[in-house]
């Protein structure tokens, strides 16, 4: 069942210097934009394309044909939702920004370290600094595209830099087979060698921020019976 006009919000697309708006269900439209298969009739509140919804200024059919190559309101509505901006509810925006912020903080935590201690910053610390710096997170923009801007801002507050490291692992024979798969999945294998006693020696290049997580995995796997040595550090950003 389509949402009522009184509860609908605006989806907007700018194209060829013009503005095109439709009234939509904010929840179903967001799921549709993310890829969910929902009948467009259940998303739009009213089958009309407007230059300005508030002034009920409908777009002439000849303009629709010229810009979109069709006058089919449903097909145009799909384009507006997929390619345009959705007016989110306050709750939706808060939730989406929170999710994107955690995604960004996790990426930064995995790639970055505190150069004063050579240890990673936990994601929650990164989130706290993002909030303290008043950085605006775009809930629709790709997390990777926002990393560089955010990193420049938080560097003013906490010491952080992106770094890759090469670590040499030496795993005892009884744990070598199991550890091999985990180490291989953790980064780029620089070299590997099976020693005379059956131990595995492997040099792995990885993002500096994942070292603690990986060490914990290997420690659990080997009951703490393994050796490591950091061979090299390279600044990544």
pLDDT in tens, 155-214: 999 999 998 999 999 999 999 999 999 999 999 999 999 999 999 999 999 988 888 889
Task: Please determine, for residue 1, whether its predicted confidence score (pLDDT) is greater than 60.
Answer: no
Mean pLDDT of 208-226: 92
- Rounded CA separation 131/173 (Å): 47
Looking at the whole model, is its pTM more than 0.85? Answer: no
Pick the CATH number of 7-86 from 2.40.50.100, 3.40.190.10, 3.40.640.10, 3.30.1250.10: 3.30.1250.10
- Rounded CA separation 170/237 (Å): 29
pLDDT band at 8 (very low <50, low <70, confident <90, very high): confident
Domain ranges of the chain: 7-86, 90-159, 164-235
Residue 9 dihedral angles phi and psi, to the nearest 5°? -125, 175
pLDDT attached to residue 118: 87
- Rounded CA separation 177/182 (Å): 9
Other beta carbons within 10 Å of 82: 13
Task: Please determine, for residue 141, whether its predicted confidence score (pLDDT) is greater than 60.
Answer: yes
Architecture of domain 90-159: Orthogonal Bundle (1.10)
Query: Which class for 106: exposed (0-12), middle (13-18), buried (19 or more C-beta within 10 A)?
Result: middle
- Rounded CA separation 148/43 (Å): 36
pLDDT attached to residue 84: 92
pLDDT attached to residue 96: 86
pLDDT attached to residue 237: 60
* Cα dihedral: 134, 135, 139, 144 (round 10): -160
Q: Please state which CATH class domain 164-235 belongs to.
A: alpha beta
Per DSSP, helices labelled H in 84-203 are: 90-111, 123-133, 143-154, 173-186
Q: Which two tokens stand for residue 12?
A: 């907007």
Mean pLDDT of 226-230: 95
pLDDT attached to residue 147: 92
Express each pLDDT in 39-72 by its tens digit.
999 999 988 999 998 888 899 999 999 999 999 9
- Rounded CA separation 181/52 (Å): 57
Q: Mean pLDDT score of the chain, rounded to an integer?
A: 91
Beta bridge partners of 201: 170, 193
The residue among 195, 200, 206 whose CA lies nearest residue 230 is 206
Find tokens 């303009």 and name the residue.
63
- Rounded CA separation 205/188 (Å): 5
The residue among 147, 136, 73 whose CA lies nearest residue 103 is 147
Query: Which class for 149: exposed (0-12), middle (13-18), buried (19 or more C-beta within 10 A)?
Result: exposed
Mean pLDDT of 63-84: 94
């Amino acid at each position: 069942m389509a949402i009522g006009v009184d509860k609908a919000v605006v989806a907007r697309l700018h194209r060829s210097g013009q503005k095109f708006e439709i009234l939509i269900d904010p929840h179903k439209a967001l799921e549709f934009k993310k890829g969910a298969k929902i009948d467009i009739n259940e998303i739009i509140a009213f089958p009309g394309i407007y230059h300005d919804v508030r002034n009920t200024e409908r777009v002439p059919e000849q303009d629709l044909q010229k810009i979109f190559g069709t006058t089919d309101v449903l097909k145009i509505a799909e384009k507006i939702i997929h390619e345009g901006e959705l007016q989110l509810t306050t709750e939706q925006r808060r939730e989406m920004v929170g999710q994107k912020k955690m995604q960004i903080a996790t990426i930064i935590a995995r790639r970055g370290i505190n150069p004063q201690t050579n240890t990673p910053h936990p994601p929650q610390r990164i989130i706290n600094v993002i909030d303290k710096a008043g950085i605006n997170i775009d809930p629709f923009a790709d997390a990777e595209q926002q990393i560089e801007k955010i990193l420049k801002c938080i560097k003013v507050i906490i010491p952080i830099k992106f770094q890759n490291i090469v670590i040499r692992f030496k795993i005892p024979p009884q744990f070598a087979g199991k550890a091999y798969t985990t180490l291989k999945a953790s980064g780029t294998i620089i070299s590997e060698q099976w020693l005379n006693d059956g131990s595995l020696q492997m040099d792995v290049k990885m993002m500096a921020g994942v070292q603690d997580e990986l060490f914990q995995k290997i420690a659990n796997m080997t009951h703490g019976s393994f050796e490591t040595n950091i061979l090299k550090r390279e600044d990544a950003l």
